Structure 1
Amino acid sequence: MGEHSAYYVPEDQESVIGKSDEIRMRFWDLGVFLDCMDEPIASRLAEARKTGVSLPEWKHDFGFGGMGIQESEVDLPVPELPYDAQCPHCGAEVFRDLADTWYGSEEIDESPDLAAAITCSSCQKQFSVDEMKCPEQGFAHARWYLWVSDIDPDDYDRSFKQTIEAIVGPCKEVFGWDT
């Protein structure tokens, strides 16, 4: 079983790096409750309920599994595994080539080397991650992005991007599917 996710990658990465806590609080005020590595949102919501603090109102109408901020010291692929990756030269599917280049296999066990050239097994030409095509999902790489997991693409409120951009500025919107 798989799930669809949405990702928002700010165009100006420098404006968000190191500011995840401040940004998370700005989203909190809008009723957008984001997980972060250091503090799961569930504990913060439980504390608000326990103390009787009223929560800001959620202004969107869509279901999701979770949402949060990912920040890293190195660029990460967004989505982590672009299954629809295509060679920019011949259009062949290059997911296996990409996984072998980035991770040595399809197993994710370390940060990928996004600077490594990818060789298409169909046409044998090399290309960079920035040249790669992902026509269905889209693709980006970033040190900071906001993710929304387990969405229904038919139910997803696309205006949510405007809410995100009001806080972090213009973003690239990418959709992914993963198992």
Structure 2
Amino acid sequence: MSEVSKYFVPKDDTRLFGKEHEIAERFWAIGVFVTTPDRFIDERIKEWASAGRSLPTSAHDFSFAEMGLATSPLHDPVPNLIYDLACPQCGASLSQVANEIWEDEESSLALPLREVACPDCHAISKPDALVSPEAYTFSRAYLWVSDVDLEDWDSNFIHTVESVLGPCVEYTSLET
């Protein structure tokens, strides 16, 4: 079974880094509940439910598993797993090599600056030069929505996201 995820990457992610609570609060006010690393919104939902309080309502009604806000000082690949990456010189598969380099938590170098060496032709490439059938980028802050049902997906959701994050680019990922 495949899982479809949506990612909303602000065109200016630098102003959002480190403001997870502020952003989550702005989404909360419009009935969009996003998970943060400390899961404070999840705790609030439990508290409100046990107190019998009504949650803020959303203008959107679509199926998904979870929605969250991700931030990283070194950038994350978006989508988080990029399949079928290839060397721009010889076309050799670089997915495993690139993902290993990007997952190296000991490196202090931002992901967009981590060069990828092709094991076949030995060409050195910047991550944004790698060839992929799906669009990808790197971001320090973005909203993700996992396991969406494309049949009931609300294409207007991006407008709600942009009302909080500012102008965004929407990415769709099919994970098998």
Common topology (TM > 0.5): yes
CA offsets, 1:117-173, max 9 Å, x none? 22334554332112223333x211111111101112343222111110111111121
Q: What is the CA–CA distance in structure 1 between the aligned matches of 2:121 and 2:153, rounded to whole Å?
A: 38
Alignment partner of 1:12: what SS?
A: coil
Answering whether residue 172 of structure 2 is matched by residue 141 of structure 1, we say no
Corresponding residue to 1:118 among 116, 119, 126: 116
Question: Percent of pairs identical after alignment?
Answer: 40
Task: Report which stretch shifted further, 87-96 or 49-58.
Answer: 87-96
- Name the aligned partner's letter for residue 60 of structure 2: H
- Name the aligned partner's letter for residue 119 of structure 1: A
- Name the aligned partner's letter for residue 151 of structure 1: V
1:29–1:2 distance in 2 versus 1, CA, 3 Å: same
- Name the aligned partner's letter for residue 77 of structure 2: P
Alignment partner of 2:23: what SS?
A: helix
Task: Report which stretch shifted further, 127-136 or 165-174.
Answer: 127-136
Aligned length in residues: 173
Cα deviation for residue 52 of structure 1 reads 2.7
Who is 1:95 aligned against?
95
Alignment partner of 2:127: what SS?
A: coil
CA offsets, 1:33-64, max 9 Å, x none? 01111125332111112223221212113100
**Are 2:10 and 2:165, in contact at CA under 8 Å, matched by a contact in 1?**
yes
Corresponding residue to 2:156 among 155, 159, 170: 159
Alignment partner of 1:57: what SS?
A: coil
Answering whether residue 88 of structure 2 is matched by residue 74 of structure 1, we say no
**Are 1:35 and 1:69, in contact at CA under 8 Å, matched by a contact in 2?**
yes
Q: What is the CA–CA distance in structure 1 between the aligned matches of 2:155 and 2:74, rounded to whole Å?
A: 28
TM-score by length of 2: 0.84
Q: What is the CA–CA distance in structure 1 between the aligned matches of 2:160 and 2:91, rounded to whole Å?
A: 35
Cα deviation for residue 92 of structure 1 reads 4.6
Task: Report which stretch shifted further, 48-57 or 60-69.
Answer: 48-57
1:4–1:55 distance in 2 versus 1, CA, 3 Å: same
TM-score by length of 1: 0.83
